[in-house]
Amino acid sequence: MPNITKHRRFVATAVAVTLGATTLAACGGSDDDGEAQSGPAKLTYWTWTPGMDKVVDLWNEGPGKEQQITVTVKKQASGDTLVTKILTAHKAGKGPDLVQAEYQALPTLVSNDAVADIAKESGDAKGKFADGVWQQTTLGSDAVYAIPQDIGPMMFYYREDLFKKYGLTVPKTWDEFAATARKLKKEEPDVDLTTFSANDSGLFAGLAQQAGAKWWTTEGQKWKVGIDDAATRKVADFWGGLVKEGAIDNQPMYTPAWNKALNTGKQIAWVSAVWAPGTLTTAAPDTQGKWKMAPLPQWSDSENVTGSWGGSSTAVTTDSKHKGAAAKFAAWLNTDPRALTALAKEGGIYPAATTAQTSDAFAQPPAFFSHQADFYTAASEIAKTTAPSAWGPNVNVAYTSFKDAFGAAAKDKSDFGAALKKMRDDTVADMKKQGFEVSE
């Protein structure tokens, strides 16, 4: 994974620029920041994961009771809505003790001094995760800003019955993917292999990640924004070309029309992530048992890499008066076997902890894929090939620009390259407005 920051001093500099601060203690408050408080700790945890209250009950009735650390779950919305709420609460000094944070949101929270460095309190948690996953919570520094919770390695989903009906083979490369789309469209004009959707920026980010994109890196004390780098342009041109020639659909995902296309066999494949079975269960209920999962197509025969779409972590806020206690809970939640089993059962998550991916909780395939007995075995192997990612301090701005620019380009079947340039320009302009130094 490329370093988002090369060292902690740069993180502190970036934060100081944003906040107008003069000194910071590794973006995580002072060492006695709440640990001067002793005795029983009552913590609040903001999270959107379903069933989290049941998982937390295991803590409160077990190790939490023994250590006199009680956690209360406060359900929240996800995405930018939660990030905004966290930052608003932090500015008022009224943040919770713990927050669920998507990996791409961590740099924003760090640059606003909203989450604490828990490197000293995270114990041996690092060894429970793949290096690339762990690095997403360190931002390439010696600090630890969160404990990984779940991940979203990307995969290729296809209607096995319809592939057989139309004489298609599962594409192993993106060139084969394009050829398959064209063949299907030529022989079955009313059927699409898939769609390019501009309403979920994470999909495009994951595809760019697989291609080797590095959207945010640093050069000395400056940020470098590579949203329009060669790898990303390759991805944009590939999908833009397929949309322009009509080889694939251009409608957004998660709409009634998209659901219907999946459910009726008008769209027979979906580039998605490990969590796709849950979406298909509600989007295309009539197709249970007809889909199959395979690795993502590669850019060349010699490659074996995937991107990541989604995933989150558990962070301790700088507002917490019980940083050590909160870090203990965060580590337990995401590394303890019993907690991980409960997270899989109650929350439906795919855990970041490597040992949990092959635990009894994943011994059986998802109900929607009951015919693919090796679903989770294959998923764990694919997860190991996840490419490194590089997030920056204003991912939300980049994602919003993507939706606007690519949404228009997909609808009009116009140049995706121009949309990519706008996405980059909007991101750079916002960073400069915030006070970050950006190299051209």
Which amino acid belongs to residue 37?
Q
Tokens of 398: 């980049």
Question: In the structure encoding, which two tokens stand for residue 360, read together?
Answer: 């009894």
In this structure, what DSSP letter does residue 306 have?
B
If you search the block for the tokens 């990541």, which residue do you land on? 308
Instruction: At 144, list the tokens.
Output: 């630890």
Distance between CA 291 and CA 387 in Å, rounded? 25
Give Dmax (Cα) for the chain: 71
Q: Quick one: which of 416, 415, 439, 417 has its CA closest to 428?
A: 439
What pTM does this model have? 0.86
> What's the rounded Cα separation, in Å, for the pair 428 and 439?
9
| The pair of three-digit structure tokens given for residue 314, joined into one six-digit string | 């558990």
Cα(52)–Cα(54) distance, rounded to whole angstroms? 5
Element (H, E) at 186: helix 174-187
181 within 8 A of 242, measured Cβ to Cβ: yes
Q: Is 95 exposed, middle or buried (0-12, 13-18, 19+ CB in 10 A)?
A: buried
- Residue 251 is classified by DSSP as P
pLDDT tens, residue order, the chain (440 aa): 333 333 333 343 344 333 333 222 333 333 344 444 556 999 999 999 999 999 999 999 999 999 999 999 999 988 888 999 999 999 999 999 999 999 999 999 999 999 999 999 998 999 999 888 898 899 878 999 999 999 999 999 999 999 999 999 999 999 999 999 999 999 999 999 999 999 999 999 999 999 999 999 888 889 999 999 999 999 999 999 999 999 999 999 999 999 999 999 999 999 999 999 999 999 999 999 999 999 999 999 999 999 999 999 999 999 999 999 999 999 999 999 999 999 998 888 999 999 999 888 899 999 999 999 999 999 999 999 998 888 999 999 999 999 999 999 999 999 999 999 999 999 999 999 999 999 97
